[in-house]
Amino acid sequence: MRFSVAQWSPEYGMPADPELEDASTEVDAAVEMPLGEWRGILPDVEPVDDVLFVDGVRRVDATLWIDQPEGRPALGLAATYAAGAVRSNGHAEVVAASVDRGLFTSVNGAADVVTRCGTYGVRATTGQSPEELWLGIQQRMGELEGSVAAANIGASLVVVDGPLSHRRHVEGAVGYIKREHVEYLPAELWDVKYGLAVARRSPLFLTSNVWSRYSWYLRLARGSSAAEGLVRCEVAADMDLATAVRLADRISATLPRFASAPHKDPRAPENLYPIAGLERELRRRLGDQHLMYRALRRAASPVQASHEVLR
């Protein structure tokens, strides 16, 4: 039996799900090149020296049960989230960082939670299941990333870690997706996708569902298998195809130089060095989770506050 060992640390899961959701019926894969001519493309452009990387982090500080006039208590999550940007133009520098806290719940009449370490403002969600609350946190973090990106325009390229989504209105922004959950290409194009050589990209394809975007695959670096070192990039389809192709070439010529090595990053090679450094800085700015948890318990009720004093 032949096999390979994934480079990603097991604690982070896998860069690609074993069974991808099939979305190939929603894709026009012939926008740049006819399907019968699909091949890896080596961009004939120079790498860009001035790149802005945008990312966000989030953390649940405590799970809350919110009392209701009738029936069982409702669920809420007290979370801290942050977004920032690092600019690489000869050296890497964090140029923006913003931190916010929120109480994520669907409870009508919920009130801000004020603690000695900060205030968790109410962030309304559409439901109270754990998945819906997590989605609310993700959405707010995405909006914060969009604000950070829009306020730091000026670099030659803007790379947002993750799907563009709330950041798609930032002019020229490129989404960088390092974990694959969806298969966008039909089976007859898989040989091209998984056979890409390092620094080569696939032709662009158009996806239209909630919003329209041009996407392409890039072989960032060689992994232990054909599924590793492969990332997807996307740009909003409100630009013309020729502009999207030029942007895809510039990004594809630039990103491989930032690919991480396994001995330096447990999510190598997909987790780019500037993004990894930004994540570390943003997590530091979230504050001490144990301190926030204790502050929330003190704010919750006199009973829990007295328990904290005894501890």
Cite the beta strand spans of the chain per DSSP E. 16-22, 27-28, 51-66, 74-88, 92-105, 113-115, 118-124, 157-161, 173-177, 180-183, 205-208, 212-219, 230-236
* pLDDT number for residue 308: 46
**Is the predicted pLDDT of residue 209 greater than 60, yes or no?**
yes
* pLDDT number for residue 128: 87
Q: What is the DSSP letter of 74?
A: E
Determine which of 8-17, 32-41, 219-228 has the lowest per-residue pLDDT on average: 8-17
Buried-exposed string 74-102: b where 16+ CB fall within 10 A, e elsewhere: bbbbbbbbbbbbbbbeeebebebbbbbbb
* pLDDT number for residue 3: 45
* pLDDT number for residue 1: 40
**Is the predicted pLDDT of residue 11 greater than 80, yes or no?**
no
* pLDDT number for residue 151: 87
Residue given tokens 């452009």 in the structure block: 45
Residue 147 carries which side chain, given as an amino acid letter?
Answer: S
* pLDDT number for residue 167: 72
Which residues have C-beta within 8 Å of that of residue 3, sequence separation ≥ 6?
Answer: none
Alpha helix positions (H), 21-129:
none
* pLDDT number for residue 112: 95
**Axis crossing angle, helix 289-300 with helix 302-310, rounded to the nearest 10:** 130
Strands 74-88 and 92-105: antiparallel
161 to 65, 116, 179: CA distances (angstroms): 33, 33, 11
The pair of structure tokens assigned to 237 is: 């389809």
Query: 4 falls in which pLDDT band (50, 70, 90)?
Result: very low
**Is the predicted pLDDT of residue 13 greater than 70, yes or no?**
no
* pLDDT number for residue 305: 46
Q: 196 or 25, which is more confident?
A: 196
Number of residues that make up the chain: 311
Cite the beta strand spans of 168-295 per DSSP E. 173-177, 180-183, 205-208, 212-219, 230-236
Most confident of 6-10, 20-24, 29-33, 166-170: 29-33
In tens, the pLDDT along 48-99 reads 999 999 999 999 999 999 998 877 889 999 999 999 999 999 889 999 999 9
Residue given tokens 């328990």 in the structure block: 307
**CA quadruple 172, 207, 85, 58: dihedral, nearest 10:** 160
Task: Give the integer Cα–Cα distance in Å for 286 and 275.
Answer: 16
Determine which of 13-17, 75-79, 111-115 has the lowest per-residue pLDDT on average: 13-17
**Is the predicted pLDDT of residue 309 greater than 90, yes or no?**
no
pTM attached to this predicted model: 0.89
Determine which of 118-122, 173-177, 306-310 has the lowest per-residue pLDDT on average: 306-310
- In terms of Cβ atoms closer than 10 Å to its own Cβ (0-12, 13-18, 19+), residue 181 is exposed
End-to-end CA distance of the chain: 55
Residue given tokens 């919003």 in the structure block: 211
Task: Give the integer Cα–Cα distance in Å for 101 and 295.
Answer: 13
